[in-house]
Homo-oligomer: A and B are copies of this chain.
Amino acid sequence: MAQSGSLIAFDLYGTLLSTESISKRLSEILGSQETGTQVAASWRKYQLEYSWRLTCMESYDDFYNITRNALRHALSEAAVRLEEDQIDQLMDEYDHLSTFPDVTPALQNLTKRPDIKTVIFSNGTKQMVSNSVFRSQDLSPHASLFTDLVTVEDVKAYKPAPAVYEHLAVSTGTQMGDIWLISANPFDIVGAGDYGLKTAWIDRNGRGWEDAAVPRLRPRIIGKSLDEVIKAILDDLSK
């Protein structure tokens, strides 16, 4: 039996949803796979950088805006110009992302466990996250699994700010020690772990844990797929 009051929170972008299709779309628009891959990587880099820098500055702009601004930075760095409607198209891709291949079977297994409460927990705006979950061809069939979409918009700070994890605990009415966070993003794992959540890291590349921002903070569980990670969490909860 799952412990009463326990919760699994899923990070969304890079954890359930792959941004690979954005990279492909960029390559198509730019007419070069190399430039597309490069701009996509640099876009993601600036998206995260901006989220951290704004949080350091005790400032806030929503995830849609910083994602769009980060794209401009990445394009400028690659000396590429796009029209506004092409930028709109790229931003629209966020509403139609695919899940990673290991996600569907893992979520299917979880539907057999109605005793486990699950939520999405994302940096995105409510609008982005809602669109991403309900319009994704892969993820929307599982949308009913999630009892809530928790975003950072209410607290106006980004992961890994303590206020963000506090908001997750408060808005789900769960003690932080009863929350499992599943993320493929090391910065999220370290931030949640520092705040006292239990953390499970998806290591899809199988490289092992390399992050050393806070060397003592490592994920409680490491698995190569969502299925592996969820099984390990369910094992832990049944103890």
Contact = CB atoms under 8 A, between A and B. Distances in A.
A54 B214 contact: yes
A56 interface: yes
User: What's the dominant secondary structure at chain A's contact region?
Assistant: helix
Interface residues of A, number: 38
Interface stretch (A6-14, A17-25, A69-77, A222-230): A69-77
A51 to B, nearest CB: 9
Nearest to A58: B162
A63 interface: no
A49 interface: yes
Given A59-B194, A194-B59, A54 B213 contact: yes
A32 to B, nearest CB: 20
A219 interface: no
A49 B213 CA distance: 8
A215 interface: yes
Interface in A132-187: 157-162, 187
When all copies of this chain in the complex are counted, the total is: 2
Contact of A59 (B46, B157, B214): B214
A96 to B, nearest CB: 25
B56 A191 contact: yes
B70 A212 contact: yes
A135 B56 CA distance: 31
Contact of A52 (B52, B194, B207): B52
B214 A56 contact: no
Interface in A36-86: 45-46, 48-50, 52-59, 61, 66, 69-70, 72-73, 76-77
A214 B57 CA distance: 11
Contacts of A77: 207, 210
Nearest to A65: B215
Given A53-B190, A56-B161, A61-B214, 5 more contacts: A53-B160, A56-B159, A56-B160, A73-B210, A77-B210
